[in-house]
Structure formats: C-alpha cells, structure tokens
Amino acid sequence: MNFVGQRRWFLLLALILVVPGIISLAIPPRLYLGIEFTGGSTISVEFSTLVPVEQLRAKLVELNHPEAIIQKAGDNGYFVRLSTLKAPVGEGAISERQQISDALATLAPLSRYDISSISGVVARDTVRYSFLAVGVALVAILLYMSYSFRKVPKPFRYGTVAVIALIYDALVVIGAFSVLGKAVKLEVNALFIPAILTVLGYAVNDTIVVMDRIRENAARAPDMPLSQVVNNSITETLGRSLITGTSTLIAVLALLLLGGESLRPFLLALFIGIVTGTYTSIGVASQLLVMWELGEIGRLFRRRPRVQASRAEGRA
C-alpha cells in the first residue's frame, strides 16, 4: 500500500479527530476539574463493619455531594474526595463536617473519621507543575531524537515531527476529556497527568520504531527518495505497531471494564492515547517528515499570503 501517497488523507483524518476537542477547549468550562486542581476536601473514614460502596455513595448524594469520588482504603475504610465543605452559618448551626459524620454513622459505627482540605493555592501549583512536567518531557524527547538521529541528514526534523505528533496525541486526549466533561461530567483528576505522560511515552516509543526503520533503510539505500524509504519503513513496521497497540488496548479495556471507578479516567485517557499514538506514528509523524522533505509545508505557508494578496487585488 502506498501510505505516503495518501498522506493528505491521513492528515485530514487527524485534523477531523482533533478539531472537536479544540473547539470544546475554547468553550468554558474547558475541563471538568477535580479537587486536585480546584481545591476541596478529603475524608478518611473507617467503619467498624463493612459498608458497601453503593450505600456510602447514596448517602453522600443525599448530603448534596454527588461529585464525591470514593476509593477503597483497607478492609472497612474509604478515602473520599469532594468539594469544599461549607462553614456553619449562624449560632448553633451544625457544620457540614459534623453533618457528614452523623450521616455516615447511620451506616455503621465509625472507628476513624478525618477531614482535610486542599487549598486553591496548592491546586494552582499542581496545574503549573503539571504543564511544566509535560513541557520538559517534550523538550527531552526532541533533544534525544535529534541526538540519536545525528548521523542522518537533517536529524532535527525527526525530533520535530515526533514532538508535533506527541502534542497532537496530548491534544486529542485533553480534547476528548473536555467534550466528555461537558457531556457526562468526566472529571480530570490527579491521575490525568500521569496518564498523559504515559501516553507520550507509549506514542514516542511507537514513533521511534518507525523512525529508526527509516534511518536503517535510508542508510541501506542512500539514493532512494525519502518518500519511498518512509513508505517501505511504514509497511515493514505496520504489523508490529498494530499488534503492540491491539494487545495493549485489550489489557487497558479489561481494566476499564473490570477495574475500580477511581481508575476509569486514567484508563480512558490511556485507551484514547494508545489509539491515537499508534495512528500518529504512521499517519502524522512519518507523513510530516515526507512533506517537510518535499517542501510541501513551506509551499503551504507561502501560498497563503499569495491567496490573501490576490483577494485584496480583487476587492480593489
């Protein structure tokens, strides 16, 4: 199959997949953020007997906390994350902390009940450090690939197209969570950042496999056009990419269906990222490398000013 000859269709499909998420990110609220990013409260509770998580969730919904995220902690304990608890209003008013304690005690006697708060300052620091971690990862990948491919002509291009593909993968995952946040209130929590970094690691590994085969084939046939080298390399690595991606997706899907609710956002981000990471190694990074070599990217940007100038002349 002539993969390189269909590069415009590959890139068009990639554009179609990312545009809805970008539009959603442009419309506030951009993401449905968890308390790690907005601030809130956490409850560590342990009952004297086993209380089913469904009963605990129903009780928290009664207390006007449907956003609560519940994680199992020990045999009879739970760790609960929810929005900031309200302070008592007026004399003699019962604090929300006490209201929750009294309500949970109706399920079973409490052997431990601790509440702590996460401030908005800590949440803002979390967001800042999260973006910093992703940025450092992208720069490191660019430098690593540029150094590893230093023996081929224009090695910086290999690192650049790989980073562009990784940014695309991250945008697809973030955009999907933005759309799902508006549709079903899918929360972005602390596990979302490790999920993005895991997706970047998986995607760059898949991209490096294709790029490394391009390097090997280019060394074997230095007179062969790069477009043919890239096409041959994609064909040779396609089976490996599909088998690796499919086997990983099966494992993630099993965890997504059978795992706990607190892990589902993390696993969903992995699922989306693995699909896009497999696609971008074939349909984005490699195709951009060919377009750059053929000068098609430069002609695209040079054509735009000419079109704008001709329209201006027509109006004159």
206: left (phi over 0), alpha (psi -120 to 50) or beta: alpha
Burial of 52 (0-12, 13-18, 19+ CB in 10 A): exposed
DSSP 110-144: EEEEEEEEE-HHHHHHHHHHHHHHHHHHHHHHHHH
pLDDT reported for residue 309: 46
pLDDT reported for residue 277: 92
Q: Residue 78, SS3? A: strand
Question: DSSP character for 72?
Answer: E
Q: pLDDT digit string (tens) for 83-108?
A: 878 777 666 667 888 889 999 999 99
- Architecture per CATH, domain 40-118, reads as 2-Layer Sandwich (3.30)
Cα separation, 95 vs 180, in Å, equals 34
4-33+121-305 to CATH, choices 1.10.443.10, 1.10.260.40, 3.30.460.80, 1.20.1640.10: 1.20.1640.10
Q: Which amino acid is at 139?
A: V
pLDDT reported for residue 134: 81
pLDDT reported for residue 308: 53
**Chunked in runs of 10, what are the mean pLDDT values of the chain (316 residues)?**
90 95 92 79 91 91 86 86 75 79 92 81 71 84 85 86 92 95 86 87 89 90 90 93 92 85 86 94 92 82 54 51
- List the domain boundaries for the chain: 4-33+121-305, 40-118
pLDDT reported for residue 233: 94
Angle between helices 7-25 and 264-283 (to 10 degrees): 150
Q: pLDDT digit string (tens) for 225-255?
A: 989 999 999 999 999 889 999 999 999 999 8
Instruction: Give the residue ranges of DSSP H helices in 221-295.
Output: 226-258, 264-283, 285-294
pLDDT reported for residue 307: 47
